[in-house]
Structure 1
Amino acid sequence: MHTQHDTARTAHDHASAPGSGPVSWAMAAQATLHCLTGCAIGEVLGMVIGTSVGLSTGATVALAVGLAFVFGYALTMRGVLRAGLPLRRALQVALAADTVSITVMEVVDNAVMVSVPGAMEAGVSSAVFWLSLAGALAVAFVVTLPVNRWLMGRGKGHAVVHAYHH
């Protein structure tokens, strides 16, 4: 027997479930933070390697973007592999869950980083480099958050992964 409280809670839970309509900002923020984690690992690693060895801005950005996708997909795959999916299916889930989010995040992040005068040339020992990179990642999070919320509300993006969370 359902009480009034149970019915209200069930209706609320259903309304915020991915793919079933409106998605809460908190759920979208959690998905975006997950994406940001993988992107940031790859982005920072790529920027540090590229600037340290003197790669051109284009080559450094390409390396950072490539590594951001690798680490972003890897974090998602780690979770769904743990849930028992075979490798091929885990890769499919990661591609479906993260491609748009990582793409938006990387376009914004790198556009900001490249637009800060001197940031790419500053080197890893410079506060300008690290503050620019941190700021670029923060802007990317803010821009990607509503994109993820919109995708999740349509059962796409990170909503695909929720079927495998326990």
Structure 2
Amino acid sequence: MQTLTRTAIAATLHCLTGCAIGEVLGMVISTALGWPDAGSIALSVALAFLFGYALTIRPVLAAGVPLRQAIGVALAADTVSIASMELIDNAGMLLVPGAMDAGLGDRLFWGSLAGSLAIAFVLTVPVNRWMIARGRGHAVAHHHHHH
């Protein structure tokens, strides 16, 4: 039971890494371009998925899995986790008054982003735990890491 929870925490930290990279990069780009909230969120979510999948594909490819199959592994391993994290994270950013309008040099922006990612992490761990317990989610990627 503890091993399952530890695995879920590790999987969620992995997801958090890709999501955070995508979120920050998306916010930086969209802020620099003066995009509205919807464009900023769309870019950030797209980049979160891109980086999340890339972080999974890399070790799967290193294990000798062909690219097409590695992409399938990443989709199976991370889609629900990234979607959960992004939904919670972006909802958090939208719920904090002024967070989306705050500039990159503003503490409100970074505090809101850090807080919403932390909440997303806590709420996504049980999602990943449930999936891993059923041989889904990150369990799919781990199968390829060991072979």
Taking structure 1 as the reference length, the TM-score comes to 0.85
Q: Tell me, in whole angstroms, the C-alpha distance in 2 between the residues paired with 1:59 and 1:114.
A: 13
Q: Tell me, in whole angstroms, the C-alpha distance in 1 between the residues paired with 2:32 and 2:98.
A: 15
1:52 aligns with 2:32: yes
1:81 alignment partner AA: L
The 8 Å contact of residues 22 and 46 in structure 2, kept in 1 or not, is answered as yes
1:152 aligns with 2:132: yes
2:82 alignment partner AA: I
1:40 aligns with 2:24: no
The 8 Å contact of residues 4 and 132 in structure 2, kept in 1 or not, is answered as no
Q: CA deviation at 1:23?
A: 5.6
Structural RMSD (CA): 1.2
SS in structure 1 of the partner of residue 125 of structure 2: helix
Superposed counterparts of 1:17-166, under 5 Å? 24-166=4-146
Any stretches of 5+ residues in structure 1 without a counterpart? 1-15, 17-21
Any stretches of 5+ residues in structure 2 without a counterpart? none
After TM superposition, the runs of 4+ consecutive aligned structure 1 residues lying more than 6 A away are none
**Identity across matched positions, percent:** 63
Q: CA deviation at 1:161?
A: 0.7
1:110-156 residue CA offsets vs partner (Å, 9 max, x unmatched): 00011111111111010111111111110110110000000000000
Q: CA deviation at 1:54?
A: 1.2
> How many residues are matched?
146
Q: Tell me, in whole angstroms, the C-alpha distance in 1 between the residues paired with 2:93 and 2:9.
A: 22
Taking structure 2 as the reference length, the TM-score comes to 0.96
SS in structure 1 of the partner of residue 34 of structure 2: coil
